[in-house]
Amino acid sequence: MKVPLLDLSAQYRKIRKEALRGVVSVCDSQHYILGANVAALESEIATYCGAKYAVGVASGTDALLLALMAAGVGHGDKVITTPFTFFATAGSIARLGAIPVFADIAPDTYNISPQSVEEILKKRSKGVKAIIPVHLYGQCADMSSINALAGKYGLTVIEDAAQSIGASQRGKRAGALGDICCFSFYPTKNLGCFGDGGMVATDNLRLAEKVKMLRVHGSSKRYYHDLVGANSRLDEIQAVVLRVKLKRLDEWTAGRVKNAGRYDVLFSNAGIDGFVTPPRVDPYNASVYNQYVIRAKKRDALRAHLSSAGVGAEIYYPLPLHRQKCFKYLGCKAGSLPVSEKAAKEVLALPIYPELSMAQQKFVVSSITEFYKGKKDE
């Protein structure tokens, strides 16, 4: 049996006719940039996540960059974030000449630790302008604690929800939990387009209007520029595809949640406690499981075993950002963020897409169980 990490073709078959009709309609209209579909999608995403405004941009990375610019982050400012995430989070900070300040993560959810953030702020809050919590793997960070710290120190909270559209905390969805929020529509996301795309959501009209200007070279009137912005516009073809998919997002999320529950039961019955730790979701959170990530002993050997068995698995992420070569100038030493560094050596993402069958999941878990046979005393 072959079990790919992700099978987008199964999803595509279900939406193919409607998506292609939409693409053809855009081509027939010859209106490709910031048209009716982008405006409609912005309204639909805002409603979906419970925000007042949403602004379509060219990618999730650009969403982060423009959100930081809208928040006034610039050269020499400090932004606290997690080292255990995709590069774009800290990369966007550095691109503005600002300084990433890395806080460690919680060992069970892998999200930024409010306690670590608080320790940083108590020691060196001067120059800190914002906090970027990342809602990793589909689960929201502890936003109540983060927002409380931000309020105390006068900081902007920028949610990185690239992996977590539809995730919620205490009944509120990602996108309405901070001052401004960034989504990615990269094809592998729970809501993915046919290329690159992103969205910024906020309740703050000033921030929304500023992002709108920044995405078109800082212009609110054609050829008149109040700011130095960027060319970062979500195009009509991606918007029309996303509108087709958005109608099915909750159904697909339910499939991921169902599959996560199956894995939990299968691992509970597998008899490999101590070797594999399934993901934990905080009781006040509803995860959308962009990834189902286990902690595994002998992780790299297990991944090689799964690959030979035809099971796709991926490491998100093998080297924390504070240890990346490009951030050597920050002076972070090995061991300075031990929880993140330990997680990077142990995490492994398993297939979790909605179309995954029970037989496939049983095969994944049986393959993992087989690997650990005879290793009880190791």
pLDDT given for residue 8 in this prediction? 94
Helix, strand, or coil (residue 250): helix
User: Across residues 209-220, what is the average pLDDT?
Assistant: 97
Rounded to two decimals, the pTM is: 0.96
Q: Phi/psi at 279 (nearest 5 deg)? A: -65, 155
What's the pLDDT tens digit per position in 217-275?
999 999 999 999 999 999 999 999 999 999 999 999 999 999 999 999 999 999 999 99
Is residue 376 very low, low, confident or very high in pLDDT (cuts 50, 70, 90)? low
Q: pLDDT-derived band of residue 378, with 50, 70 and 90 as boundaries?
A: low
16 contact partners, CB below 8 Å, separation of at least 6: none
Q: What CATH class does 8-246 carry?
A: alpha beta
Please give the pLDDT value at position 9: 95
Break the chain into its structural domains and give their ranges.
8-246, 249-372
Find out whether 330 and 279 touch, Cβ atoms under 8 Å: no
Sorting pLDDT into bands at 50, 70 and 90, what band is 374? low
pLDDT digits (tens, 9 = 90+) for 36-75: 999 999 999 999 999 999 999 999 999 999 999 999 999 9
214, pLDDT greater than 90: yes
- How far apart (Å, rounded) are the C-alpha atoms in residues 99 and 75? 8
H-type alpha helices, the chain? 8-29, 36-49, 60-70, 88-95, 114-124, 143-153, 205-214, 236-246, 249-270, 299-309, 338-346, 358-372
Tens digit of each residue's pLDDT (9 = 90 or more) over 134-171: 999 999 999 999 999 999 999 999 999 999 999 999 99
Q: Provide mean pLDDT across the span 198-210.
A: 98
Q: Is the pLDDT of residue 375 over 90?
A: no
Provide the CATH topology of domain 249-372: Aspartate Aminotransferase, domain 1 (3.90.1150)
The pLDDT value recorded for residue 131 is 98
> Do the Cβ atoms of 283 and 170 come closer than 8 Å?
no
* pLDDT above 60: residue 377: no
Query: Rounded mean pLDDT of 352-374?
Result: 96
CA angle (129, 90, 70) in 5-degree steps: 45
DSSP labels, 301-351 = HHHHHHHHHTB--B-S-SS-GGGSGGGGGG-PPTTSSHHHHHHHHHEEEE-
Compute the mean pLDDT over every residue in the chain, rounded to the nearest whole number: 97
Distances in whole angstroms, Cα of residue 14 to Cα of each of 10, 19, 148, 272, 289: 7, 9, 43, 37, 21
Which pLDDT tens digit goes with each residue over 281-292? 999 999 999 999
Q: Is 292 helix (H, G, I), strand (E, B) or coil?
A: strand
